[in-house]
Structure 1
Amino acid sequence: MDVCTLGDLLDSLGGSTVRLLSAPAAGLTVPVTEVLLYDAHTPLPRRAPGALLLAVGVRAPAAGPLTGAAADAGMTGVVVRGDDGPVAEAEAHGVALLSVADDMAWHQVHLLLAAAVGARPSPAGSGAPLGDLFSLADALAAAAGGATAIEDPRQRILAYSTVTGQAVDEDRRQGILGLQVPGSPENTEQYRTVFAADGPVRLPALDAESLPRLAVAVRAGGETLGSMWVVDDGTLAPDAEETLVQGASTAALLLLRTRAAQELARHQHGELLRRLLDGTADPATAAHRLGFGTDPDSPVRVAAFVLDGTVSPPDGEQTALRLLDLVRLQCEARYGRRACVLVDGVVYALLPAGGEPGAEQGGLRAGGAGGRHKRLVEDIVRQAGQALRVPVRAGLGEVAAGLAEVAASRDDADLVLRVLGPDLPVATVDEVRPRVTLLRLADLMGERRELAAGAWRRVTAYDAAHGTDYARTLICWLDAGCDMAGAARLLAVHPNTCRYRLRQAQQHVGIDLDDPDERLVLWLQLRTLGGLRAVEQ
């Protein structure tokens, strides 16, 4: 069996989750065999070769003694919160010193590390934990004497027995065909009975064509993880109930293991997508692991979703996580994959665009991928808003020619989010190209002194000092195409009033409105840096 090394662990979880502050003396090839929680009231084990010790309840700068104790026990290293851990002490004792973010809960750290350590190389999609559930179902069916099924709390069938010669009914056949228990009011009542009981429950047949069942809830730490059902044709073993209780205990461990594996896979996918959005991931590796085949040049588009910033939900962080789940669900239903991640309050989804007409052009005018993507995003925004009771907005970037260009599509989507509002909750970058261009110009001009200087500052300063309205008169005149009558309508004044203001502005501020270059620069600066516009958009 392959052993997880410290290097494997760091590669698996990514640098933003677990950071290496100090490497062990033996290098990154040292094995990591288990993850232990430090307890100040319980002595450390004398020997724990390869273990990682989580410094629970110990501030990072004060964890120096733990590095010595870990070295004495043969451990691989110590994990602290924050980046101010005892590096010198760890190096002196030859153990690794790892750090996690200050806001990560220790139970979450333990879950991720334990799952990564317990993971073993296996074919993609092999589903080893679920395979163990099938083996368990067969063993229970043989011991109890009846066909057995293991389900999750939503009545989805996770595993079923295949022992020959055992009686089954139509409900079992239909459930196995769809991996979902057929719904009915009678079924619902039986599940209530099972989940309310402390042990196995014998249930009567639902109708004349069905057989009775022996069932038990599968629990761990008070949490219901699922249930186990045995078809009872009257020939069950005398100790069938005891067998089912023991089986439920084993099933709980396997389901927890499955959950940990799923949590690890989700974290790894999220970390990889995060790096892909930042432009730091290898496109070929990302294509394979994110389910885009082996071609990193497959066209894709980034969609960005965010909660309306004008509304403060009771628990913003939890609401954002629920938004992530909703986007994942919809993307999986549409594309069969869930390349979604939450970064700084924004949910990003990677939408495949290959093989659809119009993917090259990307815009709505071209139809194809642009229109399909926007309809999907609009559906998600509508459903998420209803489910979360908070308005949601979404932006779509340009179609990227391949995964290597995903960061550019993400930048587009981020810009779109900044120009959206109640009147426009969803848009593609092509639909709001003028707005995002002006927004980007505002960012660039605000960063450069020479681009932020000019006549616009003199105009706004003069207005502030003298109570005039020259800046707004100028922007209305420029927006109206330098048409005096059009500017007067925007200002709701007589054209002569508008004409008089413009003459005064030229005289007092020193601007040349006959120069087209000066008009262009003045308009850009008033719009982008001054934030002025003739009409609200």
Structure 2
Amino acid sequence: MDDRPLETGARGRADVRADVRADVPADADVHAVVRRLADVLEPPPVWCGPDEAEIHDVVIAEPGEALDGAAGALVLAVGARGAEAVDMVAAAAEAGAGALAVRVGGDGLPEAVRAAAEAAPIAVIGLPRGLRWDRAEAEVRAVLAAPAGEFAPSRGGDLFSLAQTVATLTQGLVSLEDGAHRVLAYAGPVDEADELRRATILGRSCPEPYLALLRRLGVHQRVRAGDEVVTVDEQPDLGARRRLVIGINAGRRPLGTIWVQEGARPLAEHAPQMLRGAARIAAVQLVDHYFQGDPGARLASREELSHGLLTGRFDAAALAAHLGIDPAAGADVVAVDLREPGEDGDAVRADARRAEAAGIVSVHVAAHRENALVAQACGQIYAVLPTPTTAAPPPPAPSSPYEDETPLVRWADELVVTLRRLTGTRVQAVLAGRAERLADVPAVKLRGHRALQLLARTPETTVGTHTRLAPALLIRDTLELLDRSPRLRFPAVAALLTRDRDQGTDLARSLLLYLDAFGDVTAVAKRLNVHPNTLRYRVRRAVALTGLDLDDPEHRLAATLQLRLDLDARDLTDPAFPGA
């Protein structure tokens, strides 16, 4: 038998995170193991012998060591050379091992080893010299950790939803693949798919000629090294248009890849950033798939935990540990409202639109900051962005209270512009502020909810911040307290509104706008569409009827509060609560 390199038709399994347990019940055939190793090793392994044997464990053994318990395992033959390697081939076959791995040089497997493998028969894999045995063990266990059928399309709805979101944001055709290049989910217009994409989706796996090209270009090594977005140029001879690819990684453990094919129009300018965010989300979902049984139930559980952190229903420290966040870390909270029209009364449709928008927010926020969480509450979408905890000295104090909000405001504005374009509604967002600890997130979330209610007064505004809205929120809260305490009133000013209603005058409203404008008669008269002298008369008349002393700051403040309360300023066309 000749040494066999990687061949087409491998039945691979996906890779998973570094702490894979040895007792995970799963099998993989020899070909799947070889194919996985070919993607991560340089030069790739060679092999000979049958490929139908199933491997369910990895055993490390030295020459002469008893192979008890090696049945169905891949035996890593440490230090086996020459005759010792031949003896270990026979011993592994006798013990019922699925395969044996030895180190080889540039000439491939020795003839004696190949002959012993054929006689046994047993598959023998030749690994390149210089490869650490512990790394070989880890890579093989990664293959074994994904049970067969784990990613059947019927169980990958969350991944298909993510693929659709990425396709929408990048303007391309998207596919998610596991570590063995098996297609998990895909999205995008069918009529724009190139030959390679059609072959990949129909065959549920990337064709070998393209994989060989990627290995020659070192694409797999690059995407497994971090969050680099790699461009693969058009390959006309392979029927492949230009593509972007990023690795889905959990720490140093690669899980798969996300591909975006360029279709009839160029990819969006921010496509690389969106891919980084999508890769972080996909990593969580793939780990959920591998380790928690039903993926739909697992993902719902994570969303429920995020909602619990947002609303304070669960212990923040316990939730933080479960979600992989430092409980001592602070977190920025951003609140988003789609401003959906409520006249259709279709709650189901509104929920679907909000869920789709939440997916878009998730990709954007994951691209902006790691470990970010997104949850829906009160008909709105909330993003919780944990701040990294470092030992670095604190930055210098900002020159204004708004300076340190600028990067987040810029990000939120980009998000709102995207959502407005995709939803067709006047989406708004509010930077609710920073929770110093995760346990403070619910209080900050409530601030965001109230600030969004306030921001609705100015629908042209895309993003507001609690810092800028704080004065208006203070006045609103004060008015609500006054409304619940009827005994706290300025009777003379309250009577002014009653007189207006009885006599058809507009003294109270004119006085309120005059006070709001610091006595700028010209501006208020223009706003009311009256002559300045008419406004002056109204103010003098209101002062005479109420006994106000406009030179007294307490009189001015009390009159303003009473007028806003009695005029129900929150419902006025002219916003008494200015936006950001």
**TM-score in terms of structure 1 length:** 0.53
1:367 aligns with 2:395: no
* Structure 2 residue runs without a partner (length 5+): 1-15, 35-50, 55-122, 126-142, 154-159, 161-173, 187-191, 215-255, 257-286
Change (3 A) 1:346 1:128: farther
Once the two structures are TM-superposed, the CA of residue 531 in structure 1 deviates from its matched residue by: 4.0
Once the two structures are TM-superposed, the CA of residue 278 in structure 1 deviates from its matched residue by: 3.0
1:409 aligns with 2:456: no
The counterpart of 2:199, out of the listed 190, 194, 197, is 190
The counterpart of 2:413, out of the listed 378, 394, 401, is 378
Once the two structures are TM-superposed, the CA of residue 510 in structure 1 deviates from its matched residue by: 5.5
Quick one: distance in 2 between partners of 1:359 and 1:528?
43
Once the two structures are TM-superposed, the CA of residue 424 in structure 1 deviates from its matched residue by: 1.0
1:299 aligns with 2:336: no
Partner of 2:376: 342
Quick one: distance in 1 between partners of 2:426 and 2:30?
45
Tell me, yes or no, if the aligned pair for 1:364 and 1:371 is still in contact at 8 Å.
Answer: no
| Paired letter, 2:403 | G
Change (3 A) 1:208 1:273: closer
After superposition, residues 6-25 of structure 1 pair within 5 angstroms as none
| Paired letter, 1:349 | A
Higher relative contact order (CA 8 A, sep 6+): 2
Partner of 1:393: 428
Once the two structures are TM-superposed, the CA of residue 331 in structure 1 deviates from its matched residue by: 2.1
Quick one: distance in 2 between partners of 1:305 and 1:130?
44
The counterpart of 1:156, out of the listed 163, 168, 176, is 176
DSSP-derived class of the 1:422 partner: coil
Tell me how large the CA RMSD over aligned residues is. 4.7
Partner of 1:463: 500
1:287 aligns with 2:320: yes
After superposition, residues 95-174 of structure 1 pair within 5 angstroms as 135=28, 142-143=51-52, 155-160=175-180
Partner of 1:320: 354
DSSP-derived class of the 1:297 partner: coil
Tell me, yes or no, if the aligned pair for 1:301 and 1:399 is still in contact at 8 Å.
Answer: yes
1:437 aligns with 2:457: no
Once the two structures are TM-superposed, the CA of residue 341 in structure 1 deviates from its matched residue by: 1.0
DSSP-derived class of the 2:28 partner: helix
DSSP-derived class of the 1:305 partner: strand
| Paired letter, 1:399 | R
DSSP-derived class of the 1:337 partner: coil
The counterpart of 2:308, out of the listed 255, 258, 275, is 275
Change (3 A) 1:202 1:274: closer
DSSP-derived class of the 2:333 partner: strand
Quick one: distance in 2 between partners of 1:501 and 1:129?
85
Q: Deviation per CA, 1:468-497, whole angstroms, max 9, x where unpaired?
A: 010122012212323555544544434432
Quick one: distance in 1 between partners of 2:425 and 2:22?
37
Once the two structures are TM-superposed, the CA of residue 267 in structure 1 deviates from its matched residue by: 3.0
1:499 aligns with 2:512: no
Q: Deviation per CA, 1:175-211, whole angstroms, max 9, x where unpaired?
A: 99xx99xx9822122145447xxxxx9989679989x
The counterpart of 2:366, out of the listed 332, 335, 340, is 332
Tell me, yes or no, if the aligned pair for 2:336 and 2:380 is still in contact at 8 Å.
Answer: yes
DSSP-derived class of the 1:275 partner: helix
Partner of 1:70: none
DSSP-derived class of the 1:432 partner: helix
After superposition, residues 59-98 of structure 1 pair within 5 angstroms as none
Once the two structures are TM-superposed, the CA of residue 159 in structure 1 deviates from its matched residue by: 4.2
Tell me, yes or no, if the aligned pair for 2:371 and 2:385 is still in contact at 8 Å.
Answer: no
Once the two structures are TM-superposed, the CA of residue 527 in structure 1 deviates from its matched residue by: 2.9
Identity over the aligned pairs, expressed in percent? 24
| Paired letter, 1:330 | H
Q: Deviation per CA, 1:192-245, whole angstroms, max 9, x where unpaired?
A: 5447xxxxx9989679989xxxxxxxxxxxxxxx9xxxxxxxxxxxxxxxxxxx
DSSP-derived class of the 2:530 partner: coil
Change (3 A) 1:140 1:399: closer
Q: Deviation per CA, 1:37-84, whole angstroms, max 9, x where unpaired?
A: xxxxxxxxxxxxxxxxxxxxxxxxxxxxxxxxxxxxxxxxxxxxxxxx
* Structure 1 residue runs without a partner (length 5+): 1-122, 161-171, 196-200, 211-225, 227-253
| Paired letter, 1:521 | A
Once the two structures are TM-superposed, the CA of residue 500 in structure 1 deviates from its matched residue by: 2.4
Once the two structures are TM-superposed, the CA of residue 308 in structure 1 deviates from its matched residue by: 1.0
Partner of 2:519: 482
| Paired letter, 1:273 | S
1:449 aligns with 2:486: yes
| Paired letter, 1:156 | L
Quick one: distance in 2 between partners of 1:360 and 1:399?
17
| Paired letter, 2:305 | L
Change (3 A) 1:312 1:192: farther
Tell me, yes or no, if the aligned pair for 1:278 and 1:407 is still in contact at 8 Å.
Answer: yes
DSSP-derived class of the 2:324 partner: coil
Change (3 A) 1:432 1:480: same
DSSP-derived class of the 1:318 partner: helix
DSSP-derived class of the 1:430 partner: helix
Quick one: distance in 1 between partners of 2:412 and 2:431?
8
Tell me, yes or no, if the aligned pair for 2:331 and 2:441 is still in contact at 8 Å.
Answer: yes
Change (3 A) 1:492 1:155: closer
Quick one: distance in 2 between partners of 1:469 and 1:310?
33
| Paired letter, 2:315 | D
Partner of 2:39: none
Change (3 A) 1:136 1:385: farther
DSSP-derived class of the 2:430 partner: strand
Tell me, yes or no, if the aligned pair for 1:304 and 1:346 is still in contact at 8 Å.
Answer: yes
Tell me, yes or no, if the aligned pair for 1:484 and 1:498 is still in contact at 8 Å.
Answer: yes
Tell me, yes or no, if the aligned pair for 1:273 and 1:341 is still in contact at 8 Å.
Answer: yes
| Paired letter, 1:285 | A
1:266 aligns with 2:286: no
DSSP-derived class of the 2:479 partner: helix
DSSP-derived class of the 1:371 partner: helix
Q: Deviation per CA, 1:402-452, whole angstroms, max 9, x where unpaired?
A: 112212211221122112232212111112222222222232222222246
1:517 aligns with 2:558: no
Quick one: distance in 2 between partners of 1:360 and 1:446?
42
| Paired letter, 1:278 | T
| Paired letter, 1:304 | A
Change (3 A) 1:316 1:464: same
